[in-house]
Chain A
Amino acid sequence: MKITPIIGIEVHIELQTKSKMFCSCSASHFQVEPNTHTCPVCLGLPGALPVPNQTACDYCIKLGLALGCSINRETFFERKNYFYPDLPKSYQITQLQQPFCIHGQVILDGHTIRINRAHMEEDTGKSVHQHLNGVDATLLDYNRSGVPLVEIVSEPDILSPEMAKDYLLKIQQIVRYIGVSDADIEKGSMRCEPTVNLKIETDNQTFYTPLVEIKNIASLTGVQNAIQFEIDRQTEAFTQTHEVKSAANKTTRGWDAVKNQTFLQRQKEGSADYRYFPEPDIPPIVLTDEHIENLKNSIPELPDQKIARYQRDFGLNNYDAGLLASDINFAAGFDTAVGQHPSPQMAKFVANLFLGAIKTYLNESQTQLDIAQINPDFFNNLFQSVTNSQISATVAKQVIVDSLKTGQDPVAIATSKGLIQVSDSEEIKKLAQAVIDQNPKAVQDYKKNPASIGFLIGQLMKASQGSANPQIAKETLEKLLQ
């Protein structure tokens, strides 16, 4: 039996606008007192009317463009009618026939995952289930009701749980890059619903298992585990029942992260008739080429483009390029630091500083780079000094962090701290002799095994506070120990 998973994912991105999609209530709802950011519109009071948020629409278009989508010049909203307490109007304003964006793609290591559409819609309120005064109750908070969401629907081109994870990380990265959302899965500003089924080839026949949509996943690991669970469950189910996919047997299952399994949700799929129709309260949107062009131009260089450029222009390897490009702020820091037209050597030098000392510093201090503080001249000076052996690589790592902290030229810092590399052979000879005198056992070790000279070099570097030229240090020690 050959089993090929077929996976498609629906991603909802909560846009980071100031106000909600169809009203001017604040769109922030994380850790806010319940029902304090509501108004007649998002509460669904009698007589209220929706008016779309221009910025949200632009964000949706930008996101679609960043995903390689075509933008529909004419687009409109529709009502999706269903009853649920967290949906105040008993319809969600969304898009169906003519969404903002269609037909994009995401490429992962040469494999293309097609994107069917990216459209605009509004979020529902939040419900909390509690047992109160002897009854099972549902408590409702509408602060989140009406917050703008972009729904991104992929084609079923994903082939494994790992690929699903990579796809989601890519979407997350792109969304963060263009700055339309913080796309945080734990906080709920990025939600993922995979749909899974299997292609099973056995006895020269091909079967497809029924489609299963998985809801209620709250983490990236959860996505992978849930998909894997479904692959296993569907394989087992097929061997038992031989049930194959039909138009009527798509089901929805919820993910239980505690029990690590999916469970059938009581709502029967196929009975949901949403009675979509065009939203009469909102006129259609007609986009000009100019408007779309402006939005396109406002999209920064995206991660894949950066990675390609770093490899092509600076000779960085794929891994390092990927790390530099992973975060837009970090990458902006790097791009600023290398300045215009750096040589590949200079770029590599700066890359190493960023990926090493600077990254460590940022992690330890839990801070973000302040791009305004990045001075390409500083980096250039440092590069020149290291190339000229005035400053050792070790010292360079130290002073660049100091430079970020203080805003001073790193070379000036090195000079003021007396860290300018000592290449003076007399100086080094003095230090080397001192080290030999103070470390008789190490000298013995060296005499037995010349490769162990590293320790003595280390001691000399320490004694010189890292300012000794390590090459000359090595040569001097070897000469003295002959």
Chain B
Amino acid sequence: MSSTKISPEQLKHIANLARLEIKADKQNLLIKQLSQTAEYIDILSQVDTKNIAPTYQVNHLKNVCRKDEVGQSLSQSEALSQAPKTHNGYFQTQATIKK
């Protein structure tokens, strides 16, 4: 396990992945706090989990599906009602680069 200390570059990288802007005056505190947490959770690395399967589903359910039937949708006005900006039935946001 690599060092648990978070570097400023890592902070920038994580913030970018999470689409969060970390203001300059908060960066150092956040680095400290994240590093503290990373250090705490490092005890996991000491646990021998060879041959242990991960748990993704805690109540043993399987095969939960629904029939292919059409149900109620929201109306257009309901769907748009909470948006800060709309235009002719569309949600509007500032331009993005093509994917």
Contacts and interface: CB of A to CB of B under 8 A. Distances in A.
Are chains A and B touching directly in their complex (CB below 8 angstroms)?
A: yes
Interface of A: 17-19, 23-26, 33-40, 43, 51-57, 76, 83-85, 127-129, 132, 135-142, 215-216, 254, 265-267, 273, 275, 278, 280, 282-286
A54 B73 contact: no
B41 to A, nearest CB: 16
A35 B83 CA distance: 12
A51 B87 contact: no
Nearest to B96: A138
Contacts, number: 134
Nearest to B91: A140
A128 B93 CA distance: 11
Interface of B: 17, 19, 56-57, 61-76, 79-80, 87-99
B97 A266 contact: yes
Nearest to A23: B71
Given A33-B76, A84-B99, 13 more contacts: A18-B68, A24-B69, A43-B74, A54-B66, A127-B96, A129-B95, A135-B95, A137-B87, A142-B91, A266-B97, A267-B99, A278-B56, A284-B56
B47 to A, nearest CB: 19
Contacts of B69: 18-19, 24
Given A51-B65, A283-B62, A265 B92 contact: no
Contact of A19 (B56, B64, B71): B71
Contacts of A55: 67-68
Contacts of B17: 273, 275
Contacts of B79: 35-36, 38, 43, 142
Given A51-B64, A138-B95, A25 B70 contact: yes
A282 B57 CA distance: 9
A215 B93 contact: no
Contacts of A26: 70, 73
A57 B68 CA distance: 10
A25 B70 CA distance: 6
Contacts of A142: 79, 91
14 contacts: A18-B68, A19-B68, A24-B72, A25-B73, A33-B89, A35-B76, A40-B74, A54-B67, A136-B94, A137-B94, A138-B92, A141-B91, A266-B97, A278-B56
A55 B67 CA distance: 7
A57 B65 contact: yes
Contacts of A25: 70-71, 73
A24 B65 contact: no
B15 to A, nearest CB: 12
Nearest to B62: A286
A54 B98 contact: no
